[in-house]
Amino acid sequence: MIRSAVSIADGSLRAKFDATGYFEQATSREIVTLAGGTWSGAPALDAARYCAANLPYPELGNILDRAFAFPRIAIRAAVHGPDALRWIRRNRADIGAAIEAALAQDVCDHGSPDAGPSWDRLPGWPTGYEGMGRLEDTAA
């Protein structure tokens, strides 16, 4: 599982989801870009959009639809760095070493290549991923 989340900037609408489906189909370049974007921003939003369109995450799709219907609404997205790195080590070793080397440079002062940024460190992001409610269950 690669924990991920989206939120409208004021935190009034938010959802978490498993981004594994995105990583399974993403190109090496897309994954490297996501890691280089500190697991957040537009590359993470691409992951959210893919998951909303191709996986059973109705709440996620609803939030994205509402946010994109009103261009002035800011939306944030983030992928949990440690989860993503674990998945990359197991499934995409070809790019794992390059990503870890780049993150190890600590250019963003995150302290550890495994830590990566999290939604708790993004300005304006609702704190406490675990407090965002349950991960949508795809087994239903």
Single pTM value for the model: 0.74
Report the run of H or E that residue 112 belongs to, with start and end: none
**Residue 126, both tokens:** 């609702």
Q: What is the pLDDT of residues 10-54, one digit of tens each?
A: 777 889 999 999 999 999 999 999 998 889 889 999 999 999 999
Q: What is the pLDDT of residues 53-99, one digit of tens each?
A: 999 888 898 888 888 887 777 888 999 999 999 999 999 988 988 88
The angle that helices 42-54 and 58-69 make with each other, rounded to 10 degrees, is 130
- The residue ranges of every structural domain in the chain are 3-119
Rounded CA separation 64/8 (Å): 9
